[in-house]
Amino acid sequence: MPVKRKAAAEPAEEFDSLEDLNAAIAAMKPLVPGATQAVLGEGPEGAAIAFVGEQPGDQEDRQGRPFVGPAGLLLDRAMKDAGIDRHRVYVTNAVKHFKFEQRGKRRIHQKPTAGEVRHYRWWLQKELDFVDPAIVVALGATAVLALAGKAIPIMRSRGESVFDGRRGYITVHPSALLRIPEEEGRQQAYEDFVADMKRVRALSRQSKTA
């Protein structure tokens, strides 16, 4: 489903700063009830690289920070191997609340629908306007949907892209690497992911310093 239409959650008020925008996001009710809190983007305004994931997971929902669970640890490792300092980049999600299905004590991640992605799209765009990165990296299909406003097959479009006039880059979501069952395939996928990170770092340096 295309997501270019006006975001369902577009507010009437104007925001003068990322802080004000984040305060409004933090006060938003989750579209699908259940999340503990909104998980805001993290990192400096003016960062050369912004990474956009799908939505917070279980750990992110508990800790209130993006990419701090298993996928986040893998992302951290790949950034480090590519010479990217996580503290100098901006990390956020297309959808700001964790959606899950409760199974016993476990909260099982549920993929956001296109409508849910559209609901948060205006907020993500505004957030990126404030951060103004040299390059924005879509981690996986949901981030691509949010940034491009339409579904794009990841594997065929992996690499440089443009999202609404913003320099972009499409790669896989780190959790996809965690799901590869055999070691050899997982290792190869990890190396490809690090190669993407190195490319992103090089591209970001063409106009800003990462």
Contact positions toward ligand URA, by CB under 6 A? 53-57, 60, 66-67, 69, 71-72, 93, 175
CA-nearest of 119, 125, 107 to 41 is 125
Looking at the Cβ atoms of 151 and 205, the one nearer to ligand URA is 151
Evaluated on CA atoms 177, 178, 180, 182, the torsion sign reads positive
Measured from the CB of residue 53, what is the shortest distance to ligand URA in angstroms?
3
DSSP E strands, the chain? 49-53, 90-93, 100-103, 106-109, 135-139, 159-163, 166-171
CA-nearest of 91, 97, 57 to 76 is 91
Looking at the Cβ atoms of 60 and 203, the one nearer to ligand URA is 60
Looking at the Cβ atoms of 56 and 133, the one nearer to ligand URA is 56
Looking at the Cβ atoms of 113 and 208, the one nearer to ligand URA is 113
CA-nearest of 123, 157, 136, 138 to 208 is 136
Write down the H helix ranges in 56-139: 58-63, 70-81, 114-131
Cβ proximity of 201 and 210 under 8 Å: yes
Measured from the CB of residue 71, what is the shortest distance to ligand URA in angstroms?
4
Looking at the Cβ atoms of 6 and 179, the one nearer to ligand URA is 179
Give the nearest residue (CB) to ligand URA: 53
Measured from the CB of residue 14, what is the shortest distance to ligand URA in angstroms?
27
Q: How many other CB atoms are there within 10 angstroms of residue 24's CB atom?
A: 15
Measured from the CB of residue 13, what is the shortest distance to ligand URA in angstroms?
26
Looking at the Cβ atoms of 60 and 196, the one nearer to ligand URA is 60
Measured from the CB of residue 207, what is the shortest distance to ligand URA in angstroms?
26
The helix/strand/coil state of 109 is strand
Measured from the CB of residue 27, what is the shortest distance to ligand URA in angstroms?
20
